[in-house]
Amino acid sequence: MSDTKQSLNRREFFSYLTVGWVMFSAACAGLAAMAFRFSYPNVNFDPEMEFLAGAPTDYASGVDERYKNAFGVWMVKSEGKLVALSNICTHLGCIPTWLPAELKFKCPCHGSGYYMSGINFEGPAPRPLERYKVSLQPDGKIKVDKTKVFRQEKGEWDNPDAYLNV
Amino acid sequence: MLKELINKIADPLYSFPITTFLFYLMMRYYRIFGSKKFGKWALILSVPVIIWFLADPNFILIILFPDNVPIAILLVMVAFFTWFSLHKAAENDVRIEQGLGPIEATPENREKVWSWPNLVYTELFAIIACTAFLVVWAIIFKAPLEEPANPTWAPNPAKAPWYFLGLQEMLVYFDPWMAGVVLPGLVVAGLIAIPYIDTNPKGNGYYCFQDRKWAIISFLYGWLVLWVYLIIVGVFFRGPNWTFYGPFEYWSLYKIVPEYNINLSEYLWIKGLGVAMPKNLILRESLGIILTILYVGVIPVWAQKATKMGRQFYKDLGSIRYYIFMFLFVTMMSLPIKMVLRWLFSLKYIVALPEWELNL
């Protein structure tokens, strides 16, 4: 008869197993969290969501492309209203170009066309361009807030935050 | 003069019905199309035509654009293989009518060989030849290196890779959800479903046309007219602002095509009845919704009850297969129907519910 020397009894085995399992799960969870974090960029080159767009007197009547490349916004002044128009096509998210001779925005991807007001009239775009919240700061500068959008088909363009009276 | 005419008829408004008609002729007279004589003369006649096309400065500008050269080569291959398959099918159909059986079933063609070395050697040479070709290609045609991506600027025209240009052309007529998600999804699902829907045992292992006429016609229509033709339009005829340009036209940034698209609901309420658009969304789009339901729901049932071909299909396929087939077929045909409606009536959407992101 061999003297089987048990170095580990059942209770100890389960306590080791528990510790090991918790550590394994924690390591997996940490790895998963790192992988999730890795899927987000370290540096974000997206345009800022809020910016100052000068004073209302800076704008002549019509479409102003000053903030288009940096922030993706057209400042459009017409009929006494100044609005911040998104430059993202409502069809599939391309960037339309402003054609001053024809007074329209034209998308290079599928040919959607918009009037200066942002209303869609040609091509496949299903709805008008979106407008962003504009507000006047105490120092007289315009603040454009891209986190708040106003959609014409939902009747939001009449919202007092959607335009500035100039 | 002739060039102006070609520029004009290349416009999808004309070239799409012409292509469909040519496709009909090709299917109707596949034995003439598939004859060696036709192939030879088509090749001989195409050479001066191609040279004449290439002599045009605007055409050669587009065709020699590095991205477009492989597409031109692929189109030649598509033409050749379409002819080749119909040639083989025509040959076999004549033999089957004479009671000889297809060429592939003759004793000398039933002989079996080992895949090693017969197949593997051929594949090895094909791999080497392709690699050498691609190396030479990569040296001759430089890949364009452009400026860093800018989220607030898009190139004009902004084009997808060539194999997606058919989809991009489709997107001109549909909501992104339809042409970008639903229809491509159904294309893939439909292609997967083919062997389960089409259980016709004829045509296994040999070329034929008569034995599986409708399967070949509907597949080739989807492939040649609704896919390859749209790629041709997207690659060669769509310039800045996705405007149409004829093959001999210079891609001027300043070409203006006046266009004004309206929804079916506006046609009904404003133009037809002369009243304001109803506030209730469902009421506003009721005509479009009814038409869509009729199109998807009633046509398959009507075809099965009232047409001889529908009854025949229903008998051969059984009800489940028949309705799946008809659903896929009707969805496929919605593309040409929508395109024609856009060209003829400037119709934007049949059902337009941008409030719900739902447009058909």
pLDDT tens for A59-72 read 888 899 988 888 88
- Chain B residues with CB-CB distance to A69 below 8 A: 150, 152-153
Residue B247 has pLDDT above 50, yes or no: yes
Q: Which two tokens stand for residue B243?
A: 């405007």
Closest partner CB to A69 (pick from B152, B156, B355): B152
H-helix or E-strand containing A142?
Answer: strand A142-150
B341 touches chain A (CB under 8 A): no
- pLDDT at position A70 is 84
Q: Determine the residue of chain A that is closest to B170 in CA distance.
A: A110
Residue A6 has pLDDT above 70, yes or no: no
Q: Which of B174, B181, B242 to mutate to test the interface with A (most CBs of A within 10 A)?
A: B242
A41 touches chain B (CB under 8 A): no
The minimum CA-CA distance between A70 and chain B, rounded to whole Å, is: 7
End-to-end CA distance of chain B: 40
pLDDT in tens, A15-54: 999 999 999 999 999 999 999 999 988 887 777 788 898 8
Average pLDDT value for residue range B99-112? 87
Residue B125 has pLDDT above 90, yes or no: yes
pLDDT in tens, B145-174: 778 887 778 888 888 888 888 889 989 888
- pLDDT at position A1 is 47
Reference B143, options B67, B63, B61, B64; nearest CA is: B67
Percent of chain B predicted with pLDDT > 70: 100
| pLDDT band at residue B259 using 50, 70 and 90 as cut-offs | confident
What is the SS3 assignment for B118-170?
HHHHHHHHHHHHHHHHHHHHHHHCCCCCCCCCCCCCCCCCCCCCHHHHHHHHH
| Contact check, Cβ <8 Å, B172/A123 | yes
Q: Which residues contact B236 (CB under 8 A, 6 or more apart)?
A: B62, B63, B68, B247
pLDDT in tens, B285-343: 888 999 999 999 899 999 888 888 889 888 888 889 999 999 999 999 999 999 999 88
pLDDT in tens, A62-110: 899 988 888 889 999 988 899 999 999 998 888 999 988 888 999 988 9
- pLDDT at position B220 is 93
Structure-token match 């190396």, residue found: B135
Q: Which of B150, B152, B153, B360 to mutate to test the interface with A (most CBs of A within 10 A)?
A: B152
Ranges assigned E (strand) in A46-91: 50-52, 62-64, 73-78, 81-86
Residue A136 has pLDDT above 50, yes or no: yes
Averaged pLDDT score across all residues of chain B: 89
A119 touches chain B (CB under 8 A): no
- pLDDT at position B153 is 81
CATH architecture of A50-165: 3-layer Sandwich (2.102)
A158 touches chain B (CB under 8 A): no
